[in-house]
């Protein structure tokens, strides 16, 4: 993609620690979380911890997802003074077979969000139901829409929640949740995020650029009995580096989606060992889920928004970044980002 980069020029966020981009990013930078007891009870009789978004009223299900999504889309478009009706929106949602999904989940979120906004989406808008990796798959699609279909802007948005009784019951029975009886698990959360992408503008100020994307398939998934070598994530990282015409040692730090379970930290560590061949004095790893919990399809876009704000405000660990994402199934994805000026 180094010859077809994408500039990320606006963001929107709704998380358990903030109802817009800057409040969320400030809390994440300060390592402030909002983990509280929920109304759900685990098998040990204790209340489950979660990170809920507070919207003032007790909205539930797809109605709450639509309200969060509408808020983050509005924030994103407003930053650039754009009309949402004139910009295609790619909406990233959970996988349709993930436990806890309602029938016709994607259509319900799509049309209920239109109701919240009060108008229909751009006709090129669509839903991508690919879970956590959906954000980077959407970036790939947005690149085609901008460079091949000649669209000027595309908004990529994601919304998800794991705070439903059916989802929590499944993940507790699968020993995936952090509970009073199980320590190697994640804290469920909910969030929405959006980014506006376009072809870079030649100007004298830096902008966050996505230079490369890569994808892979992992056979040793979290539910499999196979030994983990992180083959899928290694493939995704190498492909993204080649796409960006970069080497791993050119990068400054990573931002990832790991969310509490040891499997993900092991995969991340193995992938680094197999791709970083020249020792670096520091190669930091950021994981915002420490503050907002496991938020599924929203995490990839949240990570991109966090990088943008950190780079613009000068507290990033450098300007060359690797972002990578792993689904609960076999899909893996990575992106190489650079906060820099662009010369056409």
Q: Rounded CA gap, 298 and 2, in Å?
A: 26
Q: Which positions ≥6 away from 103 have C-beta within 8 Å?
A: none
Backbone φ, ψ for residue 109 (5° rounding): -65, -45
Does pTM top 0.75 for this prediction? Answer: yes
Domain region containing 226: 207-340
Beta carbons of 336 and 209 less than 8 angstroms apart? no
In a domain, 1, yes or no: no
**Rounded Cα–Cα distance for residues 57 and 211 (Å):** 41
Please check the confidence at residue 231 and state whether its pLDDT lies above 70: yes
**Distance, C-alpha 279 to centroid of its chain:** 28
272-312 tens-digit pLDDT: 999 999 988 899 999 999 999 999 999 999 999 999 999 99
Q: Structurally, how many domains does the chain consist of?
A: 2
Average model confidence (pLDDT) across the chain: 94
What confidence score (pLDDT) does residue 1 get? 56
Shared domain for 233 and 187, answered yes or no, is no
Q: How far apart are CA 222 and CA 229, in angstroms?
A: 12
Over the stretch 161-195, which tens digit does the pLDDT of each residue have?
Answer: 999 999 999 999 999 999 998 999 999 999 999 99
Q: What pLDDT does 42 receive? A: 87
The whole-number average pLDDT for the span 219-238 is 95
Q: Pick from 198, 221, 242: which residue ends a domain? A: 198
pLDDT per position as a tens digit, 91-121: 999 999 998 888 899 999 999 999 999 999 9
34 lies in a domain? yes
In this structure, the number of other CB atoms found within 10 A of the CB of residue 315 comes to 10
* pLDDT at residue 344 greater than cutoff 80: no
Which pLDDT belongs to residue 115? 97
């Amino acid at each position: 993609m180094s010859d077809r980069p994408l500039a990320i020029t606006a963001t929107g966020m709704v998380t358990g620690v903030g109802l817009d981009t800057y409040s969320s990013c400030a809390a994440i930078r300060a390592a402030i979380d909002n983990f509280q007891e929920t109304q759900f009870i685990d098998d040990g009789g204790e209340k489950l911890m979660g990170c809920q978004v507070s919207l003032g009223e007790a909205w539930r299900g797809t109605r709450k997802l639509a309200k969060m999504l509408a808020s983050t889309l509005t924030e994103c478009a407003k930053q650039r003074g754009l009309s949402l009706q004139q910009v295609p929106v790619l909406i990233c949602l959970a996988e349709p077979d993930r436990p806890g999904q309602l029938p016709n989940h994607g259509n319900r979120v799509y049309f209920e969000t239109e109701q919240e906004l009060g108008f229909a989406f751009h006709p090129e808008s669509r839903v991508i139901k690919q879970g956590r990796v959906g954000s980077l798959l959407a970036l790939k699609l947005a690149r085609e829409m901008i460079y091949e279909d000649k669209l000027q802007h595309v908004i990529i948005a994601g919304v998800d929640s794991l705070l439903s009784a059916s989802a929590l019951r499944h993940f507790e029975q699968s020993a995936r949740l952090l509970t009073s009886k199980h320590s190697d698990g994640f804290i469920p959360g909910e969030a929405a995020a959006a980014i506006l992408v376009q072809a870079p503008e030649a100007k004298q100020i830096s902008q966050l650029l996505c230079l490369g994307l890569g994808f892979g398939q992992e056979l040793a998934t979290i539910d499999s009995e196979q030994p983990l070598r992180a083959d899928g994530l290694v493939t995704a990282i190498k492909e993204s580096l080649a796409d960006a015409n970069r080497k791993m040692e050119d990068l400054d730090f990573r931002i990832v989606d790991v969310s509490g379970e040891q499997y993900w930290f092991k995969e991340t560590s193995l992938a680094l060992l197999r791709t970083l061949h020249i020792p670096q004095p520091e190669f930091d790893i950021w994981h915002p889920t420490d503050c907002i919990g496991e938020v599924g399809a929203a995490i990839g876009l949240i990570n991109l928004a966090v990088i943008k704000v950190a780079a613009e405000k000068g507290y990033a660990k450098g300007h060359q970044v690797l972002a990578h994402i792993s689904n609960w199934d076999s899909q893996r994805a990575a992106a190489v980002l650079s906060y820099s000026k662009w010369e056409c």
